[in-house]
Amino acid sequence: MIKNACRAAVLVFVLILGSTAQAQVVPWQDAEVVRTESAQIQRRLFRTPDAALRKEVEERLERVTHLWSNQLEAAYERMGPNEAHRVAEAVAAFAEAVSRWDSVNAAAARAQIWTAMLDGAFRATLACLEQGRMEDAAAWLNIREYARTSRDTAASIAMREALAGRIEAERAREVIEAELLGIYAGELRKAIAAARSHLATGYGVQLSAALSRAIGLYALLSDNIASRLEPDEGRILGDAFARLAQASPTDGQALHSLVAQIEATLATYAPTSLSADELDRRVRLLARFIGLVPVEYEKGVRDGEITIPFEYFEAGLFRDRAEMLFGDLGYDLAARSPGSFERFTAILAQMKTLVADKGDETVVRSLADEAGSLLADLYGTKLNQGGHEAALSLLPDILNEILLVSQAGDWEEAELKRLEAYALFDPDIEQRLMPRAPSLALKMEAGFWEGRVAEPGLGRIIADRSPELLKQTIARMKSATEEAKEVLNTQLSSSGAFLQSLAILLREGLEAVLVLACMVGALKANRMPAAGRGGWRWPLSCGVAVALVGSLVLWLVVGKLFAMSTLQRELLEGATALIAAAVLVYVTHWIFRKAYVGDWVAEIRRKTAAATQARTGEKVRHFGWFTLFALSFLVVFREGFETVLFYEALLFDAPALPVLAGLAIGGLLAAAVAYAILGLEAKLPVAAFFRLTGCLLALLSIVLIGSGVRGLQTAALLSATPVAWFPDRPWMQLYFGLYPVAEALLAQAGMAALLLLSVIWLLLTKALETRASNTPVAPREPV
Amino acid sequence: MNMSKPALAMMLTSALLLPCGAVAADDAESRGLANVKQFTLDHNRRLIAQAELLEAALVDYAGTIAAHGGDYASAWSSEGPRLAKQIASIRSLWLEASNHYETIEGIVAGIPATAKYDLILDAGNPGTEGEDVAEYDLKLPDGTVLKRPGNLFHGVTEPLFWGMSEAGIKLSADLNGDGKTTRGEILFDANFGLGAARALAFWAKALEADMSAWTPNREDAFTSVVVMTPTVGDYFGEWKESQFISGEIGAFVAQSRLADVQGIMGGCRKMYAEALSPVVAAGDADLDSRIKAGFEELLTLVDDTYAREASGAEFGVEEADALGNDAQDIADRIVALVLQAAAKAGVRIRG
């Protein structure tokens, strides 16, 4: 047994040794040492040499040449003899320059060494991947430059995944090639810019290094450049680099014009292209982000002060996102219009400064408009519109980011991203989806907040910090987004448009019609005059008219005079619903009192008799002008603004005539309902009518309080606790305000109890009145 | 069958060892993070102690001036040597306090929860600037409130104590008694100085409170290294522009900016080596060794340059520029490598 264990141990040891030996085939660590040692030497060349310094430099140089000759050269020879030859020549040139303490030529040779080594390693990595030699490819990939600004890490991850066998070598090769080409193209531009800067300051050593680095990187990229640029441009660039290699470092004028020519030609070079779809997607997103900057900024900043920190943060975030997209699109933009490319760059930079300084909102707006016009000119207005297409395209990305930041443990950031995603969903997707697929819209909305017991929403999951649930919900939300995309991309038929228009009006308008009809019926039954100062017609008409005009005015001014955020709109809806519910409770109580208390006939007679003296002062006191006005205003205004938004959204997708027909028929149906209720007033006994309308209004007040609480929850002012026992049906939510959420249901139960108590109290009062009427005392005023 | 037993034993051992390795890495990371926090708190406490001594020295100085009814000329003529000694003591205490802060600046500024203290204490701009403003107001003993005056070390106290702020100079005085009054030989505004010293002690204590409350975590550690390491180029730029290179009197007169670079980059290296290296090495030992080598290269460059400066070496303008560019290049490379490590560890960098 022990013997066998020893054998196994020896076997494992040999395997480990074998794998170590295999990793040593590509001595990338030595390449690192060559780079750092040569840099140390270069720094010392600035100093005045003495014996000790010379000795130190010689030792370091010896190390560099030794490592190249004995460790690296053979590996490079195997993979790329040309590059090996270039490195060898550069090492010799470096040694020669160092021996003469010639810092300018040493700097050039040092840059040649490193860029030629990068070139060889790049080609070797790709070749190894093509041959399926993953370990070698991974080792060669260690000799590289890394993304400085884009922070790309895809190549490292692709290599890791390929090593683990989770992706194909070919796929890894594509990712690695694209990232490295992008990095080296960026480094080439950077080297040229550095050369221009050193040319201006007259720093000869650094100029020599920058030019040599640029030439080396050009050699690395030359095949790609030839395939990506127009033949003429490629030739011009090739000539310019050839002349650069021959130019004297002291000929400032010639160098200056060569550098300028190279910079101009490189502005339109990108090592890889986006597909047409990807390009469209990015243009849409760029247009959308740049357009969102002033929207958020105007909400977040006033007169140089932050008014809403979240909106201010969003403005910066959208600008940064725009810049990231611009980075991807820059080559295409530059190819289409170099002038626009430069202007866009300047706009983004100016916006950054303005946002950071909390500068003038109007300037931010005009810059965004200018950028939007530039995009529209270059890519057409369709791509520039953004809207729900951009939002639908962007939403999955933000959902992924939520997952990513939560995995990194940054739940606060995840919450911000959730709100960012909701801010995209609400105006652009929900408004369009609600008329066409209300159930999906509600499902998605709940998904952004607390969700359901079985399917918790993002708000709750992020608050509870549950990574596993988050993953599932994100997947569900992404699939719902796909579903929404399908719905919204499907052309709406005329009949569909008609039905949806009808549904909007019935859903949003019926509630108001019911309340108003019940109230009018009750007032008529109470013999309250319609006309005149004390009549109901004037306050009710005023309330409805002001609400309709108010809804339209609010719709017009939002986005023009001031911006209203998603959460503010939810708050407005929630708050008006709650106030309407409160007024409705008062009205319901009044109606029940009429239904259960007192002798109607006697009271009406008494009132009629008193009318000439008191000018209906009693009614005015109990059911005043303002109550009628407020209730009619609130029930119409609550739905009015949203109805206008829904119709606006519907008209985007649907032909106008069927929509208008739906609106008209819906209006007629609502009027018929009102007529039927008022007709009941004539047919039913007064007390029965009051009981019926009282019950109807009581139900509506319960609906309103549910919608109001829900509105405050979606405005993030109230917490929400989903419950499993209550049915989760979109129609119950849409038409009856019954949400499977504890707070809303509790408020509704409280409201129902309050109304019940009101009825019980009224019944008790009636009993007391009856008893009192049997005793010989003077009649008293009704309560 | 005989061979299968050891094979099974090997598999079981491996299966046991793999999680053990992961647990060991986690332990090392936790220990490292705790060490970094402790290190920061230790220096923070020394900073507080030093700031309190500085405040006491300012009380003495202000007392001397107040004894002469706030007449600086009268105070100087009566108690010149005493005032000169007090100012020397104030400057020396300031240097001590500043050095304690610089040692932990890389960590303080890199942790999102404490980054604001770096702006207040050492790096923030006055309110007149557009960005990176030190968000505090300075209340002076006479009740004056200075709105957003800039960071306390280099924006307020250093120019005040060394006479680089014209507004703070009350009297030119031959502090070293060599018969000449050169620039920097001054009596400064005692009211301003005392208020600033009190604010230093106050904010150093506030930093300690937040640093104590900070729960060390991997994300903050990564963010700290990624955010602070690339600032090396800016510091070199300031060093280049400072009097040590250009010969002009400006900011950073008390000591070379390289001392700050040393402290900050040392902090970054400490954060990486103690808190992050165990995590990175567990996933990719090569990457870890390269990041460590990068920090060694960077610190060697900084240390060598500082040592040369301290020994009186003169730097040419291009050499200083090249050193800064080299330092930045190495720092960029380190950050790029750390970002690869963060991506592999699934860590998102903030900021």
Tell whether A482 and A525 lie within a shared domain: no
Which residue among A142, A160, A206 places its CB closest to the CB of B322? A206
Q: How confident is the model at residue A117 (pLDDT cuts 50, 70, 90)?
A: very high
Q: What is the pLDDT of residue B24?
A: 52
> What is the distance of C-alpha B87 from the center of its chain?
23
User: Which DSSP state fits B171?
Assistant: E
Q: Do B322 and A203 touch (CB under 8 A)?
A: yes
> What is the distance of C-alpha A139 from the center of its chain?
39
Is the pLDDT at A106 greater than 90? The verdict is yes
Is the pLDDT at A18 greater than 50? The verdict is no
Residues of chain A contacting B9 with CB distance shorter than 8 Å: 5, 8
Q: Which residue has the tokens 């709105």?
A: B147
Tell whether A589 and A738 lie within a shared domain: yes
In-domain check, residue A6: no
Q: How far, in Å, CA of A179 to CA of B283, rounded?
A: 22
List, as ranges, residues 288-307 from B with C-beta within 8 Å of A. 289-290, 293, 297, 301
Q: What is the pLDDT of residue A16?
A: 41
Tell whether B139 and B230 lie within a shared domain: no
One-letter amino acid at A32 equals E
Tell whether B186 and B320 lie within a shared domain: no
Query: Quick one: average pLDDT of A445-452?
Result: 81
Query: Quick one: average pLDDT of A75-100?
Result: 95
Tell whether B57 and B196 lie within a shared domain: yes
Tell whether A563 and A602 lie within a shared domain: yes
* Continuous segment of H or E residues that includes residue B338: helix B317-344
pLDDT tens digits, residue range A466-478? 888 888 888 889 8
Q: Which residue of B has its CA nearest to A183?
A: B336
Q: What is the pLDDT of residue A70?
A: 93
Tell whether B40 and B85 lie within a shared domain: yes
* Continuous segment of H or E residues that includes residue A442: helix A438-448
Q: How confident is the model at residue A13 (pLDDT cuts 50, 70, 90)?
A: very low
Tell whether A414 and A472 lie within a shared domain: yes
Q: Do A407 and B348 touch (CB under 8 A)?
A: yes
Residue where one domain finishes, among candidates B215, B241, B268 = B215
Q: Do A1 and B290 touch (CB under 8 A)?
A: no
Q: What is the pLDDT of residue B212?
A: 93
| Rg of chain B, C-alpha, whole Å | 24
* Continuous segment of H or E residues that includes residue B145: strand B145-147
Q: How confident is the model at residue A115 (pLDDT cuts 50, 70, 90)?
A: very high
User: Which DSSP state fits B188?
Assistant: E
Query: Quick one: average pLDDT of A484-496?
Result: 77
Q: How far, in Å, CA of A41 to CA of A103, rounded?
A: 9
Which residue among A5, A36, A146 places its CB closest to the CB of B340? A146
* Continuous segment of H or E residues that includes residue A377: helix A361-379
Which residue among B2, B336, B346 places its CB closest to the CB of A4? B2
Q: Total domain count for chain B? A: 2
* Closest among B185, B171, B1, B162 to B91, alpha carbons compared: B162
| CA geometry: angle A279, A281, A286, nearest 5 deg | 95
Give the strand pairing for B137-139 and A305-306: unpaired
Q: What is the pLDDT of residue B272?
A: 92
Owning domain of residue A472:
389-489
Query: Quick one: average pLDDT of A67-89?
Result: 94
pLDDT tens digits, residue range A242-277? 999 988 877 888 899 999 889 878 876 888 877 676
Residues of chain A contacting B332 with CB distance shorter than 8 Å: 148
Tell whether A698 and A725 lie within a shared domain: yes
In-domain check, residue B271: yes
In-domain check, residue B10: no
Q: Quote the ipTM score.
A: 0.77
Q: How far, in Å, CA of A689 to CA of A31, rounded?
A: 94
Q: Are B36 and B270 spatial neighbours (Cβ–Cβ below 8 Å)? A: yes
Q: How far, in Å, CA of B302 to CA of A761, rounded?
A: 86
Tell whether A737 and A591 lie within a shared domain: yes
Tell whether B280 and B194 lie within a shared domain: no
Give the strand pairing for A305-306 and A301-302: antiparallel
Tell whether B198 and B49 lie within a shared domain: yes
Tell whether A244 and A347 lie within a shared domain: no
Q: What is the pLDDT of residue A566?
A: 56
Residue where one domain finishes, among candidates B159, B193, B215 = B215
- Taking all residues of chain A, what is their mean pLDDT, rounded to a whole number? 79
Tell whether B309 and B252 lie within a shared domain: yes
Q: What is the pLDDT of residue B55?
A: 96
Tell whether A100 and A164 lie within a shared domain: yes
Which residue among B318, B326, B332 places its CB closest to the CB of A203? B318
Q: What is the pLDDT of residue B130?
A: 63
User: Which DSSP state fits A454?
Assistant: S
Q: What is the pLDDT of residue B197?
A: 97
Tell whether B330 and B248 lie within a shared domain: yes
Q: What is the pLDDT of residue A548?
A: 85
* Closest among B2, B97, B103 to B52, alpha carbons compared: B97
Tell whether A699 and A741 lie within a shared domain: yes
Owning domain of residue B224:
217-351
Tell whether B267 and B210 lie within a shared domain: no
Smallest Cα distance from B218 to chain A, Å: 9
Q: Do A43 and B7 touch (CB under 8 A)?
A: no
Q: A562-600 as b/e, with b when 16 or more CB fall inside 10 Å?
A: ebbbbbebbbbbbbbbbbbbbbbbebbbbbbbbbbbbeb
pLDDT tens digits, residue range A345-377? 889 889 988 988 888 988 999 999 899 888 888
Tell whether A329 and A413 lie within a shared domain: no
Q: How confident is the model at residue A653 (pLDDT cuts 50, 70, 90)?
A: low
Residues of chain A contacting B325 with CB distance shorter than 8 Å: 206
Q: How far, in Å, CA of A77 to CA of A698, rounded?
A: 89
Residue where one domain finishes, among candidates B215, B235, B268 = B215
| Residue A368, SS3 per DSSP | helix
Which residue among A5, A39, A46 places its CB closest to the CB of B319? A46
Q: Where are the alpha helices (DSSP H) in A68-141?
A: 73-79, 81-99, 103-130, 134-140
Which residue among B293, B332, B342 places its CB closest to the CB of A148? B332
Tell whether A485 and A504 lie within a shared domain: no
Q: Do B340 and A156 touch (CB under 8 A)?
A: yes
Find the chain A residues whose C-beta atoms sit closer than 8 A to any C-beta of B: 1, 4-5, 7-8, 12, 29, 32, 36, 39, 43, 46-47, 142, 145-148, 151, 153, 156-157, 160, 201, 203-206, 353, 356-357, 404-405, 407-410, 413
Q: Are A149 and A104 spatial neighbours (Cβ–Cβ below 8 Å)? A: no
Smallest Cα distance from B146 to chain A, Å: 19
Q: What is the pLDDT of residue A781?
A: 40
A298, two tokens: 């105007």
Residue B207 touches partner A, C-beta closer than 8 Å: no
Q: What is the pLDDT of residue B202?
A: 96
Q: What is the pLDDT of residue A779?
A: 42
Q: Total domain count for chain A? A: 4
Q: Are B313 and B266 spatial neighbours (Cβ–Cβ below 8 Å)? A: no
In-domain check, residue A1: no
Burial of A162 (0-12, 13-18, 19+ CB in 10 A): buried
Is the pLDDT at A23 greater than 70? The verdict is no
Highest mean pLDDT among A9-23, A426-440, B14-28: A426-440
Which residue among B9, B286, B325 places its CB closest to the CB of A206? B325
Among A28, A36, A197, most B C-beta atoms within 10 A, so best to mutate, is A36
Q: How confident is the model at residue A738 (pLDDT cuts 50, 70, 90)?
A: confident
Q: Are A332 and A383 spatial neighbours (Cβ–Cβ below 8 Å)? A: no
Secondary structure (DSSP) of A669-719: HHHHHHHHHHHHHHHS-HHHHHHHHHHHHHHHHHHHHHHHHHHHHHTTSS-
Q: Do A408 and B219 touch (CB under 8 A)?
A: yes
Tell whether B211 and B236 lie within a shared domain: no
Tell whether B246 and B289 lie within a shared domain: yes
Tell whether B114 and B128 lie within a shared domain: yes
Q: What is the pLDDT of residue B3?
A: 40
Q: What is the pLDDT of residue B21?
A: 45
pLDDT tens digits, residue range A529-559? 777 767 778 888 888 888 888 888 877 766 4
In-domain check, residue A248: yes
List, as ranges, residues 144-183 from B with C-beta within 8 Å of A. none
Q: What is the pLDDT of residue A3?
A: 46
In-domain check, residue A779: no
Q: What is the pLDDT of residue B337?
A: 92
Q: What is the pLDDT of residue A409?
A: 66
Q: Which residue of B has its CA nearest to A145?
A: B333
Report in angstroms the alpha-carbon separations of A63 from A96, A650, B307, B336.
15, 75, 25, 27
Tell whether A216 and A335 lie within a shared domain: no
Q: How confident is the model at residue A118 (pLDDT cuts 50, 70, 90)?
A: very high
pLDDT tens digits, residue range A608-647? 445 444 444 444 445 577 778 887 888 788 777 777 777 7
End-to-end CA distance of chain B: 58
* Closest among A769, A762, A782, A520 to A631, alpha carbons compared: A520
Smallest Cα distance from B70 to chain A, Å: 39
Q: Which of the pair, A454 or A209, is modelled with greater confidence?
A: A209
Smallest Cα distance from B284 to chain A, Å: 10
Q: Mean pLDDT in each 10-residue stretch from start to end of chain B (351 residues)?
A: 46 44 61 85 93 96 95 95 95 91 86 88 85 88 94 93 90 90 90 96 95 88 87 83 53 73 89 90 89 94 92 87 93 91 78 48
